[in-house]
Structure formats: structure tokens, C-alpha cells
Amino acid sequence: MSLFGALLLSLFALPAQNPTQSPVPQLTPWPRLDAGGVEQWAAIDWRQAASYVGKWVEVRGVIVQTHSTGKVSFLNFREDWKGSLSVVIFSQVAADFAIPPQDFFLGREVVVRGKVTLYRGNPQILIHSTDQIQAADGTQVASKPALHPVTPAAKPQAELLKKNTVRVMSWNMENFFDLYDDPYHQDERTNPAFTSNKRQQRLGQVIRHLQPDVLCLQEVENRGFLEKFVKQHLKGMGYEVVLLEGNDRRGIDVALLSRLPIGAVTSYRHWRFTDADGKEQHFRRDFLRVEIKEPFLADIFVVHLKSKLGGEASTRAREAEAQTAASLVAKELKANKNYRALICGDFNATIEEQPLQVFLQLGFLDACHQNPENTYNQKPYQSRVDFVLLSPSMQPSVQAAQVFHQVENVAIQDCSDHNPVVVDFQQL
């Protein structure tokens, strides 16, 4: 065992609060690791949680009330939960349990370890790993078994180039974050704090099944974590990673994986422009341009426009981003009417809104216009905000376009709050 691993075990292997109680299971929580190391923590009564905000604690009590929104599951220690501690489990972590946690833990005494935070004045502990919560009597809730790829690994590139089609996929992987705290970004605000290994397995299973030749990604924390994911979960698929750090304060970036030859790569992170009020703006993540060579011969732009959080100010920023991106592409179309390009990603806007309309006015086409299914999959905000847009010269080569909600035994909701968009093209 490494020195670091021994340190973690020494921190977390604490005795039960009371020797008359049943033995406390040895939990292994997964706190966000930082340069200063993991803080010491204390075993407390759950009623004391509000006094330990910002501290790592162990609490023990009976779950008497639960609720699930689909996106989040809440486990509560009293019926009138307001003002008291809640255990919060986001759907991507809940999917790691073989039995939904709101069902399994209801009526059971539990032991929970984690950091106490406040949400709207109420104390909470966020569960980032199944190891953070267990039944106090030692009863185990089984984790879902590890997924094993059933789709063969990709063929060598020489064989790939003999195919008749090229598959392009765009997917917002929702907070694809690693375990470690980045002191230069506000990644600690992310919930869940990191992508568990089981969730990585599910993400990898989806990608292996869909077999994209080019994969456009959004909400990736950094290049190192993406490269590790490719090596561990997409081994043998032949992907090259393209990721340049963008402007997002949390650290989420756009990226591209390709097993087709890559040419020039351009980042517009430093591009400056003004919005409708004359205020200076910039791309909140990046506007990433990647040249894909034969047998595709097209530029692929990966976008993730400003979210709708922030009201009118966010709307102005998002519309300015879209208008600027469209003007950059318009210059290419003006110079070459046969310019081959795709614009792929999360626009945080529906087809009727300005961020899409500015591209449609240039002659771009929504690849899924004949199959307009929702891509954001969480109630009550289900909507279509993820697109692959086609320049006029690309439109005749489209063979199929689809939004995926399920892949084999993996529900997309267990992977991300966005569904992938997949488009097949005839090779040149």
C-alpha cells in the first residue's frame, strides 16, 4: 500500500461512537483531495451537523424519510427535515447502488461520512461514493457490478479508413471531474465532486457501443483525466485527445477525441467581442476548431455556450458567443462556398432561440431535424439543447442521425444529464 493510501486509512478507520452500539462499518469516503491533505474529522450526533459546517464528520442515525427527484435523492433523519441534516445523493452516484438508496436505507440506521455543507440554510452531506454510507448493522447494499465491454475494440486505423462511413458524436458528459482539487479553479462547487470509477465504466460502455470515429465532448475537467479515461476505459479504440484549457471558472472544458487523422487545432479562448449592450465578452469555455483529415476532410467546431443561470446577463453573453462563432464560420463560407464544417455541442438553447438561429441563417442544418428528441434528460427541464449542425456542403453526405437514451444495459441518465447526438456520414 502506498504511503498516501495508508494515510487515508488512518484518517478514516475510527472506532464507533459508543461501545454498546453495533460495530461501525469501516467506510472509505472519497473527499476532494487537496494540496494540504485531508482534514481530521469527528464523530458527531446528526443533530449537531449545523455546528460543523465545513468539517469532515461521521454521523449515525435512522433514515425516517426519503425523496428522489430523479436528479437527486434525499435521505433525512426526521420527517420535518427543514433545518436538519440531509444526506444528498446525485443520480450518477445513486446509479452505483444495485438498489436505489432512497429505498434501501429507508427505516435503517446508517453511518455516513463526509463534509458538512449548507444549501439554502440547511446542513447536508453530499455522497460522492457508495463507500461513504452503510447500514450500521453491517448489512451491505450491493453495488452494481462492473461493466465489461461487449463491443469489440475498434479496428486498426488502416481498416477504419476502408469503411464507407464516418461517425461523429457529441456528448456533454456532465461534470467529468477527477478526484483532486484544482487550486486554480472552483471545481469544489461541482456535485458530485468527482466521477466515480463505476460511472467512468458506464461512460466508456456507451462510447464503446456507439463507436464514434470523432467524439466531441463538453464538461471535461482537464486533459490528464481525459487521457487516463481513454487509456483505462477506451483501450484499443485508437483515440487521440484534443483539449486546450478554456475560460470556465469551474474548469470545465470542451474536448475532442478522434481516431481519424487530425490537422490544425485552433482555440478561440482569447478572442474578445462585445454583446448587444456593448459590454466586452469572451467564450465562457472555448470555441475549439479541429481539422479532421481524410477520409472526412472537414473542420469540427466544439461549443459549450454560456448556461442559462444568471438571467438576462447570461442571455446576452450566450447570444454574443453564438453571434461571434457564427461570424467566424461565415468568413470561411464566404471564402469557400463548399466549406465543410460541423458545429457540435451544448448550445444551452433550443432550436427556436438566437444561438441556433444565427447558424441556421448561414445555411447550416440541424442534423436531427427529422428526429428532434430531447437531449437534456432531467425533469422538469427536459429539452433539446445539444446539436450537430451541418454546413451546406456536408448535408448531402448524412446517412443517419439519432439521439440515444439507452445503450445495451446502460441508461444514459446513469451517465450524464445529457444524451449523446450521433450522426453518420458517407465518406468522401
Closest CA to 425 of 169, 167, 74: 167
Regarding whether 326 and 215 lie in a shared domain, the answer is yes
DSSP string, 257-277: EESS-EEEEEE-TT--EE-TT
| Cβ contact 194:177 at 8 Å | yes
In this prediction, residues 221-234 reach a mean pLDDT of 97
Per the domain annotation, does 316 fall within a domain?
A: yes
% pLDDT > 70, the chain:
85
What local confidence, expressed as pLDDT, does residue 417 receive? 94
- Side chain identity at 383, as an amino acid letter? S
- Side chain identity at 261, as an amino acid letter? P
Per the domain annotation, does 312 fall within a domain?
A: yes
Per the domain annotation, does 145 fall within a domain?
A: no
Regarding whether 113 and 229 lie in a shared domain, the answer is no
What local confidence, expressed as pLDDT, does residue 347 receive? 98
Which grid cell is 264?
490544425
Buried (b) or exposed (e) across 316-346, using 16+ Cβ within 10 A? Answer: bbbbbbbbbbbeebbeebeeeeebbbbbbbb
Regarding whether 302 and 405 lie in a shared domain, the answer is yes
| Cβ contact 367:398 at 8 Å | yes
| Cβ contact 119:82 at 8 Å | no
List pLDDT tens digits, range 233-282: 999 999 999 999 999 999 999 999 999 999 999 999 999 999 999 999 99
DSSP string, 324-380: HHHHHHHHHHHH-TT--EEEEEE-SS-TTSHHHHHHHTTT-EETTTTS---SB-STT
What's the angle, vertex CA 148, arms to CA 26 and CA 377, rounded to 5? 85
- Mean pLDDT over each residue of the chain, to the nearest integer: 86
Sheet holding 214-220, edge to edge: 240-242, 253-258, 214-220, 165-176, 421-426, 398-403
Regarding whether 84 and 19 lie in a shared domain, the answer is yes
**What is the enclosing helix (H) or strand (E) of 93?**
helix 91-94
The whole-angstrom separation of Cα 38 and Cα 7 is 9
141 — pLDDT class (breaks 50, 70, 90): low
Per the domain annotation, does 142 fall within a domain?
A: no
Query: Which is more confidently placed, 91 or 155?
Result: 91
Regarding whether 215 and 87 lie in a shared domain, the answer is no
pLDDT for residue 345 is more than 70: yes
What local confidence, expressed as pLDDT, does residue 184 receive? 87
Regarding whether 199 and 123 lie in a shared domain, the answer is no
Regarding whether 210 and 112 lie in a shared domain, the answer is no
Nearest 10 degrees: CA dihedral of 69, 74, 80, 84? Answer: -140
Q: How far is CA 140 from the centre of its chain?
A: 28
Residues in Cβ contact with 392 at an 8 Å cutoff, skipping those fewer than 6 apart: 337, 363, 364, 365
What local confidence, expressed as pLDDT, does residue 10 receive? 37
Per the domain annotation, does 151 fall within a domain?
A: no
Residue 364 sits in a domain whose CATH number is 3.60.10.10
Residue 79 sits in a domain whose CATH number is 2.40.50.140
For the ranges 152-156, 314-318, 339-343, the lowest mean pLDDT is seen at 152-156
What local confidence, expressed as pLDDT, does residue 91 receive? 86
Number of domains in the chain: 2
Q: How many CB atoms lie within 10 A of CB 78?
A: 17
Which grid cell is 345?
455541442
Q: Cell 444528498 appears where?
A: 88
Regarding whether 405 and 269 lie in a shared domain, the answer is yes
Q: Cell 443517419 appears where?
A: 400
Q: Which residues pair with 123 in a beta bridge?
A: 118
Regarding whether 381 and 264 lie in a shared domain, the answer is yes
What local confidence, expressed as pLDDT, does residue 14 receive? 35
Per the domain annotation, does 147 fall within a domain?
A: no
Query: Which is more confidently placed, 155 or 306?
Result: 306
Per the domain annotation, does 393 fall within a domain?
A: yes
What local confidence, expressed as pLDDT, does residue 142 receive? 54
% pLDDT > 90, the chain:
64
pLDDT for residue 190 is more than 90: no
The whole-angstrom separation of Cα 425 and Cα 330 is 23
List pLDDT tens digits, range 20-59: 444 444 454 445 444 444 555 678 889 999 999 988 899 9
List pLDDT tens digits, range 392-408: 999 999 999 999 999 98
Regarding whether 371 and 279 lie in a shared domain, the answer is yes
- Side chain identity at 64, as an amino acid letter? V
Closest CA to 190 of 122, 245, 132, 250: 250
List pLDDT tens digits, range 271-301: 999 999 999 999 999 999 999 999 999 999 9
The whole-angstrom separation of Cα 226 and Cα 204 is 11
In this prediction, residues 57-77 reach a mean pLDDT of 91
What local confidence, expressed as pLDDT, does residue 129 receive? 83
Per the domain annotation, does 148 fall within a domain?
A: no
Q: How far is CA 135 from the centre of its chain?
A: 29
The whole-angstrom separation of Cα 130 and Cα 192 is 12
Domain that holds residue 91: 3-135
List pLDDT tens digits, range 355-365: 999 999 999 99
The whole-angstrom separation of Cα 236 and Cα 274 is 44
Regarding whether 246 and 390 lie in a shared domain, the answer is yes
Regarding whether 104 and 69 lie in a shared domain, the answer is yes
Buried (b) or exposed (e) across 193-212, using 16+ Cβ within 10 A? Answer: bbbbebbbbbbbbbbbebbb
